[in-house]
Structure 1
Amino acid sequence: MQLRPLSAFEDNYVWMLQDASGAGLVVDPGQAAPVLAAIDAGLQLRGILLTHHHNDHIGGVAELRARVPGIPVIGPHDERITTATQRVGQGDVARVDDWVFEVHEIPGHTVSHIAFHGHQVLFCGDTLFSLGCGRLFEGTPMQMLDSLDRLARLPGDTRVCCGHEYTVGNAAFALVVDPDNMALRARAVAARDAWLAGRPTLPSTLADERACNPFLRVDAPAVQSAVARHVGQSPRDRVDAFAGLRRWKDGFRA
C-alpha cells in the first residue's frame, strides 16, 4: 500500500492511497490536476473521500467525476457539498474496494467536518495539523477540543494525514508555547530539514502529535502556564486554556 501526498495550490495536500495493482482513492481533491496526473501515471481511481465543504478540498471533484464517471464520492452530511454520492457520519463505515474506514464527526473547523480512520491512517482534513489545529470558522472551542481529544485517543502509530503543509509554521508557534519540550524541538528540526529539502513533513504519527502538539497538550502544566502568561490570568478550565491558545495562534506572527 502506497500513501502519498499530492501537492495542490500553494500548500494543500490531496492524499492518495494506492495498492500494488494500481487501484486507489484520493482524499480532499480541491484541485483536479494532481489527481489527473496520477491517473495518467497509472492510478486507477476507485473513490473519493471528502472531509469538509471548503472549496480547496472539494473543488476538483466535478472534473474527476467527468474523467471517471460513476466514481463514488463519500462525504459528510452537508448540502454545501453537491458532488457527494454518499453521506456518512459518526459511527458509519466508508468503503472503497478493500479499504474500510471508520468515520468520526469532528466539528470545530466546520460544523460538519469528518475524519476517516483505517489501515493505520487518519485523514483529518483541517481539524488536526502537525503541531497545530484548524481555525474555528464555524464551531466552538469546546467542540474543537472534544474533536481533538477523540482523535488523540486513536492508536499512537496512526499516520496523521492532514490537509495542509503547515508544520514548519506551526512549529514556530509551538516552540514559543512549550520551549522546553525536547520532543517538540526534535520534531521542529526534522520538519525544517524536510521542508528545506523539498520533502513533505507529513504524515506524522499520533504518538508524535501527543508528545509535541500544544493543542493536544492543553492539560500539560507548561502549556497551561504559557497561556496564563499570555492572557494575563490562569485559564478557568481546559476549554478556556484551549480557547486562549487558539486565539494566541490566530494572532501569532513568527
Structure 2
Amino acid sequence: MQQEARMKFSLVDGVRQEPSPKVKGLCQFCGKPTLSKCGTKVRWHWAHARKDSCDPWWDNESQWHRDWKNHWANDYQEIVNFDEVGEKHIADVKLPNGMVLEFQNSPMSHKELQSREQFYGDMIWVVNGRNLAKNMKLRAALPDPNHVSMVDIGVRNINHKTHFIYFHISECQPDELIEIHSSDKIESLIKDTHVGHFFYEWKRPKQVWLNAKKPVYLDFGKGILWQLKRFNEFSSFCIQAHRKEEFLRRYGAVA
C-alpha cells in the first residue's frame, strides 16, 4: 500500500495555505483534491483525497523534515520546480538565488540521487543522521586542507583514534614508490590549523552519500552538522563539523 503523502501547503482558492480544520484544497503539484488533516495525534498537514503521492521523489514529511523547513520563510518551502523539458518536482526549500536544499530522512537509491542532483543543479543535501550515528566514530583530527602547507600533501585514513598517514603529492609518479609519513611529524600544524576536519570510522556506510556530487551534511542533532567530503582530490573521505546556526545563517534561514 502506498504511503500517504503529507504536505505543509496546498492551494485554497488558488492561494498556498497551511492546513486548517475542515478545509479542502488542490495539490500545488498535480492539481488533485487534498484534505486538511488537523487531528490531535499527528501534526497538521495536507494529504491527497486519494492516498497517493504525485511526486515520486517526495520524502514523506517527518517532524525532523518539518522542523528543518520551518527555518525558512514559507515562500521558500515546498516549491515546484520545472526543467527545460517540462519535468517537475517539489523542492523542500528553494532560495531566491535558485539553490535547493533537500532534507532526506528515508533511504534513497543511487539512481534517484543522480537524477535529483542533475535536475536541481545547485543544491545541498541535509541527511537525518540520527540512525547513522551509532555506526560512526570520529578518528584523527586533520589540518586545514586549504592551508598553504597542505598544497602538496595527500592524507589517508587508518581508522586510528589520533593518527593518520600522509604523503607528498609531487612524489606520486607512475610505477614509482613514494614515502609514507606518520601524522606525528605534522602534529603542531594539525593543532594550529584545525578547522573541524576529522577522519572517521563508519561501519556499514551508506555508500549513496559517498557518491553524491553535491554537498552532503549529516544531522546527528546537538547543534552540529557534519559535512562528508574528501580532504582533497588525492585523499580519503573525511568529515567536517559546522555549527548549525552558522549553516542556517549562511543559507538565509529566518528562524
Higher relative contact order (CA 8 A, sep 6+): 2
Give the number of the structure whose alpha-carbon radius of gyration is greater: 2
TM-score by length of 2: 0.30
Q: Greater strand percent: which structure?
A: 2
Q: Greater helix percent: which structure?
A: 1
